[in-house]
Copies of this chain bind each other. A is one copy, B any other.
Amino acid sequence: MSEELVGRICAELTKIVLVDPHTHINPHAPASTTLADIMGYHYYTELAHSSGMPKALIEEPGLDPKTKVGRLVESLHHLDNTVQVSWLVELCRKFFGFQDNRITPANWESLYDKAATVMAQPDWEDQCLKQSGIERVFLTNEFDDPLTGFDTARYIPCLRTDDLVFHFTNPAVRERLTKATGIETTNPERIRQAIGKLFEHFVRHGAKACAISLPPSFAPRQPSRGDLSETNFLTSFLDPDSTTKDVGQNFVFWTIAEFCAEYRLPFDLMIGVNRRVYPSGVYQGQDLFDQRVSLIQYRELFNAFPQVTFPVSVLAQASNQELVSYSWIFPNVVTNAHWWYSNIPAYIELDTRARLQAVPRNKQVGYYSDMYKLEFAWPKFSMYRQCLSRVLAQDFVIARKWSENEAILLGKQLLRGNVESIFNV
């Protein structure tokens, strides 16, 4: 395949300005201030740890940012093959004038200082977004986030509901809910009212999606009236060791889906993560997955809520064919980007090929960055654009004789058009 063709398509796709439909940006501190913010991203700490660096060195309390970066740099020669480190090098070259291809013990300090200077500019946030071709960014907000003090036109709220569904038995979660809504959650109906208040609050502040990450074992179903009887409430909703706590989880989950219907919010399902599989791992570097999961587990949900759009992300690459097929059949199921352990070119290319060959083009969200700091949008979207361009070149321009322009329009729809139409932004 002609690398020139891929390059031309990619250049055109790089021209469009993006809305990033899923990130973990803190809108009160969206950009980094030092390289430690950037290299503190779990990808670098967990890979450094995996390659041999003790957790204690990485997470030593009181460690100053520069020392931390210096330590992490010691691991990079074990990691330079990874695409995650290529993101790091690319963003340093893009934003900080870095000229080398590798960050080493010999060159990191000047990079650190240069980066600090660049990021100290008062308009760094704006500059970074502009250089990255990003104009709006979805957030991941805790359910009790007041959603004030930032520009919700740029940073679009998104109601994250993991705690409500999976940690409702934790008294601290219930207290947060009561504090946020003024409602004591002493029975299912009151829980429903409290959740309704959250939706009202989020939508009033411009929220465009509700989201949740789900373990491979989860199979949502609507609880019966009997399940929700008064006698069951204690065990199903309040007891973390109960064998029927799935009733409470299902009730909260189902109620959230009902409010998504009422408020016309897409419900992002991020399917397949097992939390704390490696509890001695570094912060955010402890979760893994079990590939034995199926979208058939969501059959009842997809049928019950035809009016709710479900942008689905899957963690296991083995799930992609199911995602393709369920999106091809269910009008309300939409493919949503390339998540976490599937977010490497080897899998993005395979998954993109299959999606483009079999899912309606108006039902595919190409990519989100999942970033914690703005600087990562550029290299992550660049990686995706490369993969997408390769598929467009091979499968459409070469194999199916599409014009380059037709292929580019398809790419733009995945990158921008569908984000607008699916999330109503």
Contact = CB atoms under 8 A, between A and B. Distances in A.
Interface string A32-49: 000000000000001101
The interface centre, meaning the residue of A50, A326, A356 with most chain B CB atoms within 10 A of its CB, is A50
Contacts of A345: 353, 357, 395, 399
A82 B285 contact: no
Interface string A300-338: 001100100000000011110110111111110000000
Contacts of A330: 50, 278, 281
B291 A278 contact: no
Given A80-B361, A327-B50, A329-B46, A341 B316 contact: no
A404 to B, nearest CB: 14
A178 interface: no
Contact of A361 (B79, B83, B295): B79
A296 to B, nearest CB: 4
A321 B329 contact: no
A362 B285 contact: no
A108 interface: no
Contacts of A357: 81-83, 344-346
A38 B401 CA distance: 23
B360 A50 contact: yes
A294 interface: yes
How many copies are assembled?
Answer: 3
A321 B317 contact: yes
Interface string A65-86: 0000000000000111111101
A306 to B, nearest CB: 7
B321 A356 contact: no
Contact residue range for chain A?
35 or more
A398 interface: yes
B318 A360 contact: no
B328 A50 contact: yes
A104 interface: no
Given A80-B361, A350-B346, A279 B291 contact: no
A102 to B, nearest CB: 9
Contacts of A50: 327-331, 359-360, 363
A330 B330 CA distance: 38
Contacts of A363: 50-51, 78
Contacts of A46: 328-329
A250 interface: no
A347 B362 contact: no
Contacts of A62: none
A354 interface: yes
Given A82-B360, A289-B322, A290-B296, 15 more contacts: A46-B329, A50-B363, A52-B362, A81-B357, A81-B396, A81-B410, A82-B359, A274-B296, A278-B302, A278-B303, A279-B303, A289-B296, A291-B319, A291-B321, A344-B357
18 contacts: A47-B360, A50-B328, A51-B362, A81-B356, A82-B358, A277-B329, A281-B330, A288-B295, A288-B325, A288-B326, A289-B322, A290-B294, A291-B318, A292-B293, A292-B294, A316-B321, A344-B357, A347-B354
